[in-house]
A and B are shown apart, each in its own frame.
Chain A
Amino acid sequence: MPGVTISRWTMSYFAAALICLAAGLASTASGFGYPSVPVEAPESLVIIHLIAIGWLGLLFAGSLLQFVPVLASRQLQSPHLALPTLLLTIGGLVLLLTGFLGLADILPFLAWTLPFGGVVLTFAFASLCWMVIGTLVTNRPLSLPAKFVALGCAPLIGVAVMGLLFTLPLSGLTDNSYLVRLVLEAAPAHAYLGLVGWMTVTAVGVSYRLLTMFLLSPEKVRSTSRAAGWLMVAALAAVLYDIVFAGAGTGRKWPLDVAVAIGGTAILLYAIDVYSIFKERKRKSVELNVLSSLVAVAMLVISFILFAVSIAIGNVADMVIPIAYLFTFGWLTGLGLGQLYKIVAFMTWLEFYGPVLGRTPVPRVQDLVNERRASVWFLLYFGATSIATIALIHDVPDVFRWVTIAQLMAVCALAFEFIQARRLALVPASTKLPTGNAISRLFLPSFNGRS
């Protein structure tokens, strides 16, 4: 049966994700973790996983639950798994962070917390993949965006299983030489699987649909898009090779470099596609969510250019962290915040006004947000992120921490804007809903049977 309704738990995913982002930024601003300690120190791992799983993981999972049905034009497969998946992700993350804090001697160390957290997270992501793949396969042949989203599921499972394997030697539960070498050598591949393999591939796929939709641009299957997909497959194969041989102790540096180079080429092709989608648009005015997505794509391209330049100059070791930072906060987080700005307003509009459309005056989706004010926050966010990247390149940790405070302010301000949208605080008086229409549903679904 075609048709899509509101995903009940997506707002809860978003709320939890934003809390993790704010917590991660606040911790960094307070001097906890990198750059005060090395990036592989347990304190840094706390922040990294708070951002990667707590913020980006929950953001992507929540968005997929709403948009995979749109891509497939079918209801979500096993929607009852949405809440358990959310709880498992949060629970697994808390266990993982407790374990890292134990390794850092901040909490008492219990050897089982890390592997247990790894198991719980693997279950959570497997459950997410079940819903995503199960929904996509009901509408074959898969559209191009759907193929990207399906491809992203493989590295998602990969990154979870790999993380689980890491936890065993880290907790001292095994001294198996293969696993020990894996932890020592394959952490960059682990990050690649998560940030590029799952999130970037998924974001690229979904944006092919969303950008054409928001810009009223024709949705075509371009040869550049297909090539980008196949290059990502090749890049992931190179990463797999890297992981297998890193553990065996016969690892070389080149497979991951090759993966970055191929992935970077895919990204350039994607950027060309975004440019064509933008050029062929029928809608002349461009909304803030599209603008911020374009800035995010620019930051994605810049992070690849920085990588290419640093290989040419030969200072990759110094540049890896600033580049990974720009990739995570400029590209993934920038894109995520930009899309949240639109998705929250749209879902709220549909949830509250969908049932009365055509029967009473309703606001436009844009009326739920204040674009002028929000654009100031986006400017602050992207400006701070750019300066933070430069501060990392020039190794000035104090500046980095100060601009992290600016980033945190921008994120909190945007979270406030999302709450305003959820509460329908900005809609014109003539379109206010009659009181009693459950405006209090900030981030929990309605339990009265509808929505």
Chain B
Amino acid sequence: MPQEFKELDVRSILQNGGQPFEEIMRAVGALQPGEGLRLFAPFEPQPLFRVMDSKGFDHDVVELDNGDFEVRFVPRTEEEVAISENAVSPELWAEPSVDLDLSDLDPPEPMQRILSEAEALTSGEVIFAVLSREPVFLFPELTRRGHQWVGNFDRDGSAYRIMIRIGPGATNA
């Protein structure tokens, strides 16, 4: 899912000689889970980066045309990984033997390609694939065929990554 941001502009507070720190912390406290903060400031707020880092946010800084800065604080996803019910210890899986970039294919072609590749592999082999969307219809079909999988979105939500471990003697239902 695309990253959503709340916006906060502290330029006027600083211009009037105010201290925006509390305002910023209030905005951070009011963020929804997964939501980021887009902050506009007249300078790079270095001290804030440490504070936000300890709160679990990474940051990107963009200098605007007028010399001000836009800082995007993005919550570090606590590795929100989807995992199939039958998956065991994905960290011990073999290196992927097939690497697929399917991000330019129309749905449902990615599903079709992955299932075709899976048929050609032997038990224990691993497929890594990148897709433009979460393949929600693929998940049940993989599980039904006895394959294990783990997957998640990349940080800005523009691609979905999935690892599939081929099951023993895929079940023909």
Interface, chain A (partner B; CB < 8 A): 1-5, 69-70, 73, 140-141, 143, 213-214, 216, 218-221, 282-283, 346, 349-350, 354-355, 357-359, 362, 365, 450
Task: Please tell me if B2 contacts chain A, counting CB pairs below 8 Å.
Answer: yes
Most buried by A among B114, B117, B138, B140: B140
With A141-B34, A357-B115: A1-B85 Cβ-Cβ less than 8 Å? yes
Q: Which residues of A contact B106 (CB under 8 A)?
A: 214, 216, 283
Whether A358 lies near B118 (C-beta < 8 A) is: yes
Complex-state Cα separation, A91 to B133, whole angstroms:
39
Question: Closest chain B residue to A139 by CB distance?
Answer: B1
* Sample (25) of A-B pairs whose CB atoms are under 8 Å apart: A4-B139, A4-B140, A5-B140, A73-B134, A73-B136, A141-B33, A143-B1, A213-B133, A216-B104, A218-B158, A219-B1, A220-B2, A221-B2, A282-B104, A283-B106, A350-B108, A350-B137, A354-B141, A357-B115, A357-B141, A358-B112, A358-B117, A358-B118, A359-B119, A359-B172
Q: Which 5 pairs of residues, A with B, have the shortest CB-CB distance?
A: A3-B139, A358-B115, A358-B116, A357-B115, A4-B136
Whether A450 lies near B136 (C-beta < 8 A) is: no
Q: Which residues of A contact B2 (CB under 8 A)?
A: 218-221
Q: Which residues of B contact A5 (CB under 8 A)?
A: 137, 140
> Scoring B residues 69 to 85 as 1 if CB is less than 8 Å from chain A, else 0, what string do you get?
00000000000001001
Q: Which residues of A contact B111 (CB under 8 A)?
A: 357
Interface size for B (C-beta < 8 A) is: 35
Which single member of B118, B132, B172 contacts A216 (CB below 8 Å)?
B132
Total of A-B residue pairs, C-beta within 8 Å: 71
Name the prevailing secondary structure of the B interface residues: loop
Complex-state Cα separation, A143 to B35, whole angstroms:
11
Name the prevailing secondary structure of the A interface residues: loop
Whether B112 lies near A362 (C-beta < 8 A) is: yes
Question: Closest chain A residue to B133 by CB distance?
Answer: A213
The B80-117 residues at the A interface (CB cut-off 8 A) are 82, 85, 104, 106-108, 111-112, 114-117
* Minimum C-beta distance from A129 to chain B (A): 22
Question: Closest chain B residue to A223 by CB distance?
Answer: B7
Other A-B contacts than A5-B140, A141-B33, 20 sampled, CB-CB below 8 A, are A1-B85, A2-B139, A3-B136, A3-B139, A3-B140, A4-B136, A5-B137, A69-B136, A140-B32, A140-B33, A218-B2, A218-B158, A219-B2, A220-B2, A221-B4, A346-B108, A357-B111, A357-B116, A358-B116, A358-B117
Q: Which residues of A contact B4 (CB under 8 A)?
A: 141, 221
Q: Which residues of B contact A346 (CB under 8 A)?
A: 108
Q: Which residues of A contact B118 (CB under 8 A)?
A: 358
Question: Closest chain B residue to A349 by CB distance?
Answer: B108
Question: Closest chain A residue to B120 by CB distance?
Answer: A358
Task: Please tell me if B173 contacts chain A, counting CB pairs below 8 Å.
Answer: yes
Task: Please tell me if B143 contacts chain A, counting CB pairs below 8 Å.
Answer: yes
Complex-state Cα separation, A5 to B140, whole angstroms:
7
Whether B136 lies near A2 (C-beta < 8 A) is: yes
Question: Closest chain A residue to B116 by CB distance?
Answer: A358
Q: Which residues of A contact B35 (CB under 8 A)?
A: 141
Question: Closest chain B residue to A4 by CB distance?
Answer: B136
Whether A358 lies near B119 (C-beta < 8 A) is: yes
Complex-state Cα separation, A1 to B144, whole angstroms:
14
With A213-B107, A220-B2: A4-B137 Cβ-Cβ less than 8 Å? yes
Complex-state Cα separation, A380 to B90, whole angstroms:
55
Whether B132 lies near A70 (C-beta < 8 A) is: no
Complex-state Cα separation, A349 to B85, whole angstroms:
26
